[in-house]
Amino acid sequence: MSDTLVPEKVVIIGSGPAGWSAAIYAARAELQPLLFEGAITEENRLSGTLPLGQLALTTEVENYAGFPTGNLAGFLDSSIDKQRRQIMAPHEGRGVSGPELMELMKQQALNFGTRVMTDDIVKVDFSQRPFTLTSLEGKTTQAHTVIIATGARANYLGLESEETFKNMGVSACAVCDGALPRFREKQLVVVGGGDSAVEEADFLTKFAAKVLLVHRRDELRASKIMRQRAVDNEKIEIVWNHQLAEVLGNEQDGVTGARLKSTLDDSEQQVDVTGVFLAIGHTPNTGFLDGQLQTNDKGYVVLPTASRTYTSVEGVYSAGDVSDDYYRQAITSAGAGCMAALDAERYLAAKGL
């Protein structure tokens, strides 16, 4: 499995919908895939790159085909390995949640024989075949084909004060942190105007007294249904044409306020809040590739051939958010993961590997 003499046929890096779907297809094609699901480290927790990816940080998934609203509790109990099921959050009976969907996909991949390493790939060498991959734990793996499915992570504005108060009221994941006592019955800020920002703001109103949705323009980017959700929620107030300029606080209390700057003039306002949530888009997790695959100006892996998952290196495929800055949906990622496994399978067959 690691430090191998015999190269792996398929190594999959990433454990979101693309990674697990690729694993299901590769395993059923008897390619014995090895999947690196990511390491459980504090750094990964802070950057939102823990195993099971971004969906593990969301709530209900209402748009993944095949999972209408209903009580899935019995299905989850009977399909997921008992030990893992015990440590999952209880099912709340409103259809499938992001973490549940990911656990179901993982289980399906395991059922067909996928081997899973709880480790990050931190270095790749695509200049020689078989390819060489090095993990955070220092293990090396050789592979004839590699599927990159490492997804993307939440962006921050890059303010010094954001960094200072991470873990003390600044977060990019309402679902992970929203229920903490410091946010309950308090006023909070969410920055952004897309679907994520509205989703986070809406979720936070379960706990918060009020959520200020701070958007830099006078129109939300979010879809119509999500825009309506923001308008309908009495606990959400949209602060139009403003940008977060500084997170205010102190060492003892963490976040105590925010300085908001107008994007139309030089005016500023200060608001008392105990939390600041960023929901301003994502960055693909491609740093470990160190320039060995072609990426675009935003860092996304480029797929040069239409309707294929081929990257700039033959035998290396890419699927999901890491190579998609346009659709970015669980279901499109899953479809792309399937395509990547089929592409790898055909390559291996053509090469007689």
**Segment contacting ligand NAP (CB under 6 A): 29-37, 43-51, 166-174, 190-198?**
190-198
Beta bridge partners of 243: 261
13, 147, 280, 289: residue in contact with ligand NAP (rule CB under 6 A) = 280
Both tokens of 88, joined, read: 């999952």
> Of the two residues 35 and 336, which places its CB atom closer to ligand NAP in the complex?
336
Cβ contact 155:280 at 8 Å = yes
Q: Which of 3, 81, 119, 173 is catalytic?
A: 173
Considering the candidates 3, 119, 125, 176, report the single residue annotated as catalytic. 176
**Of 14, 16, 19, 192, which lies in the binding site for ligand NAP, with binding defined by CB under 6 A?**
192
Binding-site member from 221, 227, 229, 235 for ligand NAP (CB under 6 A):
221
The one catalytic residue among 177, 321, 324, 343: 177
Residue 137 or 163 with smaller CB distance to ligand NAP: 163
**Residues listed for the chain:** 353
Q: Taking the complex as a whole, how short is the minimal distance between the CB of residue 261 and ligand NAP, in angstroms?
A: 11
Per rule CB under 6 A, is residue 332 in the interface with ligand NAP? no
Q: How far apart are CA 181 and CA 292, in angstroms?
A: 45
Position of minimal CB gap to ligand NAP: 194
Annotated catalytic residue 338: no
Residues 177, 70 contacting (CB under 8 angstroms): no
* Site membership for ligand NAP, residue 196 (CB under 6 A): yes
Cα 116 from Cα 37, distance rounded (Å): 7
Interaction pattern, residues 54-93, with ligand NAP; x per rule: CB under 6 A: ---------x------------------------------
What is the secondary structure of 149-217 as a DSSP string?
---EEE-----HHHHHTBTTTEES-HHHHTTSGGGTTSEEEEE--SHHHHHHHHHHTTT-SEEEEE-SS
The yes or no reply on residue 193 touching ligand NAP (CB under 6 A) is yes
CA dihedral 323, 324, 329, 334 (to 10 degrees): -40
Listed in order, strand segments (DSSP E) in 199-265 are 210-214, 236-239, 242-250, 254-262
Q: Does residue 7 touch ligand NAP according to CB under 6 A? A: no
Distance between CA atoms of residues 149 and 288, nearest Å: 12
Distances (CA, A) of 287 to 131, 172, 295, 325: 17, 20, 10, 16
State the minimum distance, in angstroms, from the CB of residue 266 to ligand NAP.
Answer: 17
As a whole number of angstroms, the distance between CA 223 and CA 196 comes to 10
- Segment 146 to 185, residues that bind ligand NAP, using CB under 6 A: 157
CB of 198 to ligand NAP, least distance (A): 8
The 231-270 site mask, x for binding ligand NAP (CB under 6 A), equals ------------x---------------------------
Q: Is 119 a catalytic residue?
A: no
CB-based contacts of 175, cutoff 8 Å, min separation 6: 57, 58, 59, 98, 200, 203
| Residue 281 engages ligand NAP in binding (rule: CB under 6 A) | yes
- Tell the smallest beta-carbon distance from residue 243 to ligand NAP (Å): 6
Is 177 known to be catalytic?
yes
Residue numbers of the site for ligand NAP (CB under 6 A)?
63, 157, 191-197, 199, 216-217, 221, 223, 243, 279-282, 328
Residues identified as active-site: 173, 176-177
